[in-house]
Amino acid sequence: MYENIYSILKLVSSVNLIYGRKKFQKIVQILQAFGFPFEQRYVYHLFGPYSQELQNDIDMMVESGLLIENISGGTYIFLLTKKRLKN
């Protein structure tokens, strides 16, 4: 579990912002397909690949203050908080 959290935080840290929940889901699924260490299981949903496990991880990181989830014009925007990774 902590490996998944670390990998997600590292991803957000490397791109600074992720615009959209669907985009977040798709980025992680594509990186997983290329061998990056994401272990969430995916199903194909209305808008493409979807992982409830990933959404649960994101929700937990928002609730624990590791990620900020803002809504701007109907789009979710994700970025790290000051509790972000030190590396």
pLDDT at 84 over 80: no
- Rounded to two decimals, the pTM is 0.87
Rounded CA-CA distance 41/83 in Å is: 27
Quick: pLDDT tens for 25-58: 999 999 999 999 898 999 988 888 999 999 999 9
Question: Mean of the per-residue pLDDT values for the chain?
Answer: 90
Helix (H, G, I), strand (E, B) or coil at 34: coil
Neighbours of 25 (CB within 10 A): 22
Rounded to an integer, the average pLDDT of 4-32 is 93
82 has a pLDDT exceeding 70: yes
* Helix (H/G/I), strand (E/B), else coil: 43: strand
